[in-house]
Amino acid sequence: MATSLRPDTDDQRRTKLVKESQSPTTGDMIVTADAGVDEAEREEVLAYLPDFRGKKVLLLGSGSRRYTEALAQLVGHLTLADHTQPFDDSSKATNLSQDHITSMCGNVTELEFAAGSFDLVFVDRLLTSLGDDDLTRVLVRILDWLTPGGYLFILETCDLRSGHWCPDVPTAFRSPLQYFKMLQATTSTQATFTPIRAKCCLSYIQHKGDPSQVCILAQRVNKDEIERYKEAINIRYSQSWIFQLEWMLGHTWNSTGGEATTREFCLGLGLVPGQRVLDMGSGGGGSAFFMARYYGVHVHGVDLSGNMFCLALQRQATLEEKLRKRVQFEMMNILEADYPAGSFDVIYSRNAILHIPQKAELFRKIKVWLKPGGTLFITDYCRGTAPPSQEMLDFYKKASMNLVTVDEYGELLRSAGFTEVVAEDRGQQFHQITKAELHAFRTRRLAFLQEYPQEDFDHLLNIFSLKITRLEANQQTWGVFTARKASDM
């Protein structure tokens, strides 16, 4: 995403303004005070944190006092730091008399702590007050302050259009993607950050239709421990590739048939207003927006790709308020999700589980997340009956794809305890749709070349042509699966 932030030479001016303004934190100036929203946000955010009971925690941006009381009750030691005094006299009497709390006032860019001082660093809407250079330096310091395996949690107001500078307030609004990139670029000795999950706060979506309040959880890891699977997904689904793919499948769509197949499949799901749907592999948001708009359901979209997550948030921000309130997006590995039992009426996935080798484990989790009588619906790439070519095997490895046959897929669902399992081979339908998409894409060649080079057009053409070749050779097919969780469970 392009940014219009002023050059990093503005960092000194920005930091000076923050240091001189004895006012609430930038986050407080951006987020309108609302007791109902604050309470809902606090409950949601604390539930999203890793287990911090008995841990050493640093709270940056503590002047807002949103989280000091709750954290103080559970941590082993809490350090509070802000550019303004974190407490008034009444809260001093409540908190600062406790031995396990330390409070300090100062510029975040000048704080000094010993290496490995904290298990968790919690940043509460403070990073918008820093320019890119200052933020980069602060992230390096935080990485050093954390214990190995420690966590950085960021709660921030994000710009879902582009970064920009507010001349009257020392504020740099960044997109979630900018934070992801800055975290991944942060290194210290052999350690780095890896963002492991992120989401827009449901409390702000439900109360205000505002998806700009974003939680990001990153972990300090050794450089050689970075998850290769996630790296492969983010490389494959670059922003440029996503937009190019939409030239083939349609705006917001990332799966076969785009809106047409989504309309067809949703007709059979029995969706009714007010139901909760989990969209696994939600991509750029197409299916989530469609179900929320035409069926009045509430959709929680999850995708492993940070690029997909950020794009979906941008698009959510442009919707009318009633639709914004029905959709929430999250970036994470679905295998690491831990939703409460019976959270969803329907769980839906389009051409995404092909990237997950541990399908049996995932299906067991899905069964727990579904309400009794709930429906699971999946479309996915599958192996055909013919032996795969070496070229096909090499491609699957490069693209982190793990395919099974349609029959094997069905058996995995039955083994997980699902009932009424229907496993259909829709290879012929996939073949017809892909040929039609390829033909339509060829007719749009000149328009495509206004934005992208000829080699990108040829690359996309080649990928879809190879799909047709594999389908015709019966090396690959397309499966459509429905299953239910028994009503008496």
pLDDT greater than 90 at residue 327: yes
Task: Give the model's pLDDT for residue 231.
Answer: 57
Average pLDDT over residues 13-19: 38
User: Which positions ≥6 away from 18 have C-beta within 8 Å?
Assistant: 26, 83, 107, 129, 170
Q: Is residue 81 part of a domain?
A: yes
Same domain, 167 and 239: no
CA of residue 133 relative to chain centroid, distance: 25
Same domain, 311 and 403: yes
User: How many folded domains does the chain comprise?
Assistant: 2
Task: Say what the alpha-carbon torsion angle 387, 388, 390, 392 is, to the nearest 10 degrees.
Answer: 170
Same domain, 468 and 390: yes
Same domain, 157 and 244: no
pTM for this entry: 0.87
Instruction: Report pLDDT digits (tens) over 258-284.
Output: 999 999 999 999 999 999 999 999 999
Measured CA to CA in angstroms, residue 474 lies from 121, 315, 427, 466, 470 at distances of 52, 37, 8, 12, 6
pLDDT greater than 80 at residue 13: no
Unique residue bearing structure tokens 């940014």: 3
Range of the domain at 80: 8-226
Task: Give the model's pLDDT for residue 436.
Answer: 96
Whichever domain contains 97, its CATH number is 3.40.50.150
Average pLDDT over residues 184-208: 91
Mean pLDDT, the chain, whole residue set: 86
Average pLDDT over residues 25-36: 47
Least trusted range by pLDDT, from 343-357, 384-398, 417-431 = 384-398
Q: Is residue 166 part of a domain?
A: yes
Phi-psi region of 61 (alpha: psi -120 to 50; beta: other; left: phi over 0): left
* Tokens encoding 72: 């103080």
Unique residue bearing structure tokens 């991944």: 184
Is 347:373 a contact under the CB 8 Å cutoff? no
pLDDT greater than 50 at residue 309: yes
Q: Is residue 1 part of a domain?
A: no
**Most confident stretch, 22-36, 185-199, 223-237:** 185-199
pLDDT greater than 70 at residue 35: no
Percent of the chain topping pLDDT 70: 84
Last residue of one domain, picked from the residues 226, 245, 277: 226
CA atoms within 13 A on the CB side of 206: 12
Task: Give the model's pLDDT for residue 32.
Answer: 52
Last residue of one domain, picked from the residues 226, 253, 282: 226
Same domain, 238 and 214: no
Same domain, 14 and 111: yes
| φ/ψ of residue 488, rounded to 5 | -90, 15
Same domain, 213 and 299: no
> Quick one: 241 exposed, middle or buried, by C-beta within 10 A (0-12, 13-18, 19+)?
middle
Same domain, 217 and 361: no
Residue 42: strand, helix, or coil:
helix
